[in-house]
Amino acid sequence: MRVSLSFLGTGAPDVGLDDMSAVAFRASSSLLLLDSGEGVQHKLVRVGVGLNKLGSVLITHLHSDHVVGLIPLVQTRTLMFKSLRPLSIYGPPGLEKFLSESFNSLYFDPGNAIEIQELREHEEVRLGELTIKAEPLDHTVITLGYSISVDRGFSLCYLTDTRPTARDGLRCSILIHDSTFSWVDLEKAVEFKHTTALEAGIIASKVGAKLLFLYHISSRYRDRGFLESEARRFHPHTYAAEKYTYVNLSL
């Protein structure tokens, strides 16, 4: 089985940057979108992922840099591909209200083109060969991380935005983790409930990750290699994700 990741945005919000949170994850016949930041639909097209191929979207929380790209994505997909199976959208409580009010304000009715399911902490859903589990995170609003398990033992964990938290027994082959701040800015990380790169390295070691991708990185760090060095004190196989970073694995 082949597994791939396309990072469509890896930064924290900043004026003028087109780098909001979104990752396309493909495993066999399943194609998921993790978060849906601004401009995500044109980024999917740029990396060769047609909107007609997208099956599910997993939203972590309702801060704008993680969800506003979902509205135009759904509208375009609905208008262009009327006969497609519904797009499944998963996320925390409040997701259905957000989408309903947004579409009502835009005088657009997606009808049965989408299916929305709000998840509780620790709830599992099955998507083809994948098992998705909602992981509780510690942010300023209700936020879910996701562990995605493939039948052959591979697991991807997507944990952003959050203070360091990982439940006992969580195992991840690949970890994508909030690394908004450097350890030197720990006070800001605590204040805004984000994680430092150093803390992400500790978590990656704890969950047994083979690869750690630093994610949701503040634009204050022009040299992301500095954050890699910080995390590698605890996890040597660490990489700061960049927009359009592509990872291809064979399981």
- Active-site residue numbers? 65
By CB atoms closer than 10 A (0-12, 13-18, 19+), residue 104 is exposed
Angle at 200 between CA 194 and CA 204, to 5 degrees: 145
Number of neighbouring beta carbons within 10 Å of residue 208: 12
Residue type at position 162: T
For 122, residues 6+ apart whose C-beta sits below 8 A from its C-beta are: 133, 134, 135, 136
- Residue for token digits 């027994």? 169
- 12, 53, 19: which is closest to 33 by C-alpha? 53
Residue 186 CA to residue 28 CA, distance in Å, equals 39
Instruction: Name the helix (H) or strand (E) containing 104.
Output: helix 95-105
Pairing assessment for the beta strands 87-91 and 114-118 based on DSSP bridges:
parallel
* CA separation for the pair 178, 162 (Å, rounded): 7
